[in-house]
Amino acid sequence: MKTAAWRPSKMMTTTTTKGAALARGATTATTTLARSTTSSSVSAGAKGSGVACRASGKGKFGASAAVSVTPASTAVEQENEVGTMTFTTWLLKQEMKGNVTNEMAVVLNSIALACKQISSLVTRAGLQGMTGLAGEQNVQGEDQKKLDVISNDIFSDCLKNCGRTGTIASEEEEVPIAVEQTFSGDYVVCFDPLDGSSNIDAGISVGSIFGIFEPNEECNLEGKNIVTESTDGDDLDISQQESLLHCCRPGKDLLSAGYVMYSSSTVLVLSVGDGVYGFTLDTLIGDFVLSHNNIKIPESGKIYSFNEGNMKGWSDGLKNYMDFVKDGEKPYSSRYIGSLVGDFHRTMLYGGVYGYPGDVRNKNGKLRLLYECAPMSFLAEQAGGKGSTGTCRVLDIVPDQVHQRCPLFIGSTKEVEIIEKFLS
């Protein structure tokens, strides 16, 4: 049975749709919801948890601080929330469960706002002259598309303006940036604003990926194995080095990670460390609405997703695996978009394995640890799957460079384990 308290109020929908200044929008939406609720215990929870959680440690924010909330939802109740619960409402519920602080909720809301804007641009890119090259290269030496640049600005601005982000590291920026506008929270957000951008001109799925850490309290540079120069060889100042230290953290420290896929629909999939949830952008109301409740990756699945054009440079173990998937009465199906978010989203829902291995030329492959491999591995594990380099757990790797790459095999636990056996 669903209580009226959880139904998104008209007032709230209107507030979040306006797209006004994010920090204000997010806070107002939360307040409005707390006020609109019919249960006094829920109201108290909404207010109380925000304050109490602030002092809590990472992961489960002050579960002990959780105030009296309405009884736990039943499975049926959760099912009923699909198609009706907005992302903002869901976030408030996570706050009440002690899974996020209200500051973290503001950061997540700012990401949702950025992604709504990017979604709108991706849809209209072909009409508004935003395809093609922007005449710049990113720090990886890749040509930047116009939309890469614009999406990076949107993502950065939303995160800065929300006032709760202390450090941001973007795939498109050379070094992490300390955010001057931060007011509280100081969260560290690593993101790839538009992954798979080489697909844009053909109208193929692209996505944004993000991971959020707590600020590193031991931000003391002494004795830390951190690079002190940028990829261009420029010396980094102390503030830049500290920002680097905030970001160079293992994926197992992530508080939250997610992606937004811009495809036939725009889907936000995220975890705050308590399962994985998907929200589809309802363009009529301009809000993300719960569409995938507690996603679980199938334990196995006969789909493999690799760029086999690179096979010549792969290890013998991996070449043997490629023979294995094509062997037998029922060979695996091959599916490869070349856009991590799209390939991973399919793997989450249908099962199977996505892989981007190292090869003779690039032993760590192509994908970046902080913006691609770690957030996706966090989601995979939260959904009951696995993210591996072939020999170790991706979430255990401590980066020493912000743009570090890493081999990735991710998806159904059994499928990843089969690859690990071939590679051992």
Closer to ligand AFP by CB, 182 or 339: give it.
339
Q: Among residues 101, 119, 235, 258, which one has the least CA distance to residue 175?
A: 235
Cβ 262 to ligand AFP, closest distance in Å? 12
Query: Residue count at the site for ligand AFP (CB under 6 A)?
Result: 13
Question: Which of the stretches 86-94, 102-110, 176-184, 192-200 binds ligand AFP when contact is defined by CB under 6 A?
Answer: 192-200
Question: Which of the stretches 101-109, 194-202, 321-329, 390-398 binds ligand AFP when contact is defined by CB under 6 A?
Answer: 194-202
Cβ 196 to ligand AFP, closest distance in Å? 4
Q: Which of 142, 186, 201, 282 binds ligand AFP (CB under 6 A)?
A: 142
Query: Between helices 102-124 and 22-36, what is the axis angle to 10°?
Result: 120
How do 256-262 and 266-271 pair as beta strands?
A: antiparallel
Contact present, 89 and 12 (Cβ < 8 Å): yes
* Cα–Cα dist 127/123, whole Å: 9
Q: Which of 103, 172, 195, 214 binds ligand AFP (CB under 6 A)?
A: 195
* Cα–Cα dist 407/220, whole Å: 30
339 forms part of the interface with ligand AFP (CB under 6 A): yes
Contact present, 43 and 67 (Cβ < 8 Å): no
Cβ 133 to ligand AFP, closest distance in Å? 12
* Cα–Cα dist 401/178, whole Å: 16
Q: What angle do CA 58, 61, 67 make, to 5 degrees?
A: 165
The single-letter code of the amino acid at 355 is G
Closer to ligand AFP by CB, 164 or 346: give it.
346
Closer to ligand AFP by CB, 52 or 408: give it.
408
* Cα–Cα dist 258/382, whole Å: 11
Max intra-chain CA distance, the chain: 64
Closer to ligand AFP by CB, 81 or 343: give it.
343
Cβ 309 to ligand AFP, closest distance in Å? 7
Query: Please, which of residues 357-376 interact with ligand AFP by CB under 6 A?
Result: 366-367
Closer to ligand AFP by CB, 199 or 263: give it.
199
CA-based radius of gyration for the chain: 21
> Phi/psi of residue 187, each to 5°?
-65, 155
Query: Please, which of residues 196-235 interact with ligand AFP by CB under 6 A?
Result: 196-199
Q: Which of 124, 299, 338, 398 binds ligand AFP (CB under 6 A)?
A: 338
Cβ 21 to ligand AFP, closest distance in Å? 30
Q: Who's near 95: CB < 8 A, 6+ residues apart?
A: 30, 46, 49, 50, 53, 101, 102, 105
Question: Which of the stretches 86-94, 116-124, 160-168, 337-345 binds ligand AFP when contact is defined by CB under 6 A?
Answer: 337-345
Cβ 175 to ligand AFP, closest distance in Å? 20
* Cα–Cα dist 86/89, whole Å: 5
Question: Which of the stretches 253-261, 286-294, 334-342, 397-405 binds ligand AFP when contact is defined by CB under 6 A?
Answer: 334-342
Q: For every residue of 360-414, which 3-state class applies, written as one string?
A: CCCCCCCCEHHHHHHHHHHHHHHCCCEEECCCCEHHHCCCCCCCCECCEEEECHH
Closer to ligand AFP by CB, 195 or 287: give it.
195
Question: Which of the stretches 181-189, 249-257, 335-343, 415-423 binds ligand AFP when contact is defined by CB under 6 A?
Answer: 335-343
- A 10 A CB-CB count for 294 gives 13
Cβ 140 to ligand AFP, closest distance in Å? 8
Cβ 398 to ligand AFP, closest distance in Å? 22
Cβ 320 to ligand AFP, closest distance in Å? 21
Footprint of ligand AFP (CB under 6 A) = 142, 195-199, 307, 338-340, 343, 366-367
